[in-house]
Every structure is written in structure tokens, then in C-alpha cells.
Structure 1
């Protein structure tokens, strides 16, 4: 049986592709195209950052665990994160997780002032002892050195307790017997203080224990010549003095 041939109508049977887009379809925006291109690139960069940080964290954890006696060589990403969390928890239990701030300006000033005061005390004490051993006047007057060390001691006491108001503590003077070859000075009694203030106290005691040779100081002391006395100078000074009447 021969079927009749099927004829295709040129208007109904043939497929013709559309020559233009659908009128309801919106055109693709440039923002969508940019996101479509950049999203894979940003994802690769994000993964690269994660892997780099995990590698650095792995090196840090391996070093920390080896210091604690554990030997870890191969770690996966999940192992690195888990060991990091465990290590941070152990530091938190030991109280070592809090970061210690750097030394403030006030603390650095106090440390520098204390060091300078210690150097001054050592210099004055050693210079006074050496001068008395050689029976000559030292580069620093002993009484002025004692007052300077007392002043530095008071300053350090105020710096150690900046919140509390400064309390002026009376100085107890203990008279000492006069030595045959010199004069002994009173020793100021200071309260208990830190290491720097104790160093200043030792310097004050050393200065107090070292006698001053009065005869030697009198022979070495140079007095400026007194100006000649004249009645004309008295008249000029009397005229130059201002009086309210």
C-alpha cells in the first residue's frame, strides 16, 4: 500500500527562526554580565586567601605544639582549625590569652626617672667617698648632694603613687656625735620604698657617715676680696634708695 506523499505547506509546516527577540524579554544588563564574569574570579581569590591563612596557621600550630612536646607533621584543614581552638582554650584557662599592652608613656617616664635617679645617687656617693679617702673636697658639696638625693627620693615616692595625694612625711633628724677630725651630718630616716628609692637611701646614709674635714675645707676655701670702704659709696647708696616721703 502506497501512502500518498505528504506535502508541507510553505506557511505552516516549515520552521522559521525568529528574526527578532520577544517584545516582553528584558535585555541583559551590564551589571549582570560583570557579576557573571567576576564572581568566579572573586571566589578563586577568596579560596586562595583561606588556603594561605590556613598554611600560616598550620606553621604556627606545629611550632606551638612541638614546644609543648607534641609531634604533628601532617594536618588537614579541619585538623588545623580544631587544634587552634583547643590551643586557644588552653591559653585561656592558664590566663595567657589576654594581650599585654605596651608600656605607657607614664610607665616609661617613671622607669627612666628611676634609672637616672639611681645613676645620680651612685655618682654622688662614689665621688664623696673617693674625695674623703684622698682628703680633699669632692666635685659635689656633701650637703647639696644629700639635699638632691632627698629631693629625688620624694619625687620617686610621688611617682610610685600618682593617684594618692602626696603626703609630706616629717624627717626625723638623729644627731650623731662629732668625730675628732670632722663633723657628722644628720641622717634622714625615710620610709620603705622600692629598689630605686632604697638606692637613694643608701646614698644618703653613705653621705651621712662620711665626715667633713672642716679644717681642710677652710684652708681650701677662697674668699673674694672685699671692696674698699669709702664714705662716698655710702652717700651714693643712700641717695639711690627710694623713699616714699
Structure 2
């Protein structure tokens, strides 16, 4: 074999490898999206890693269930969008609580943490109540995928030592210790 021919073969093999990697990445990205979109797959997301076949089977089962339901509540796009919005807000709220605890070092009874988390929890509950997203006909509230009712605070958001005042609401006129958060990260 001439050097030119072998280099062409190697180049072709590299291109095939790149193309195959892109194809696998697209498949994996689509499976990740399905895992996020299908309620039963999303519910199991926190436990063990789902196999690709399991994700596909759950997707098929979910689509069959939607087809059988005939659109009664399951295709209410507004209600589903509000559920996703609510779930996203609650996830952000949990991340804020985690950040305040782990990065800023605020314990659960710290007044700033209590006021901020309480305010965000109250806001989320008011938005959920106002939207009526959980009063749909037969659709599953997305907050329940975490094993708790969407109007109940995530465990990360609750006082851990019992000294916190989770019932306190933040007032727009109260000081919020702005320097404290800013001091940890210049």
C-alpha cells in the first residue's frame, strides 16, 4: 500500500469516527430530553441511571396513555406549561437554598435565608394558586415527581435544626444583608 492510500484510509476512518460520535451524541441528547419530558422517566431520574431501552419504553407507554386519554387534561398545553414553570421555579428555589447553605455558609435559622426562602416559597404558592395549574382535569402535577405536594416546601428549604422561623415572610422594606452575599464572591 502506498503512503497516500494508507493516509486516505486513516482520514476516512477518522471522519467515520467523528460522524459516528455525532450520531451517538444526537441520540443521547434526544434520550436525555425524553427522560426530562416523560413523567415516569423524570420521576425515576433521581434514582439509578435509566437504560436507553427503559427511556424508550416509558416514552411509548406515556404516548399510548396520552392517546388512550383522548386529550382529557393531558393535552392542556397551558396547564402543562404552568406545571413546568412551577417545577422550574421550585428547582431554582431549592438551588438558592443549597447555595445559601453550602456556598454562603448560612444555616437554616439565619434570618436572611429564612426571609428569602420564605418569600420565594410564598411567591411560588401564590402563583400556583392564581394560575389554577393544579386544578386541571386528570393531569398529574409535576411537583409530585419529587414525592411531595407542589405546595409543600422542598426538604432543602425547611429549617434543619428546628430553630428557623419558616413562617416569616420577607418584606420589601426589610434590609436583606446585601453585603453578606457580596462578601463571599467579589
TM range (shorter): 0.3 to 0.5
TM-score normalized by structure 1?
0.27
Query: Which one has a bigger Cα radius of gyration?
Result: 1
TM-score normalized by structure 2?
0.33
Greater RCO structure (CA 8 Å; 6+ sep): 2
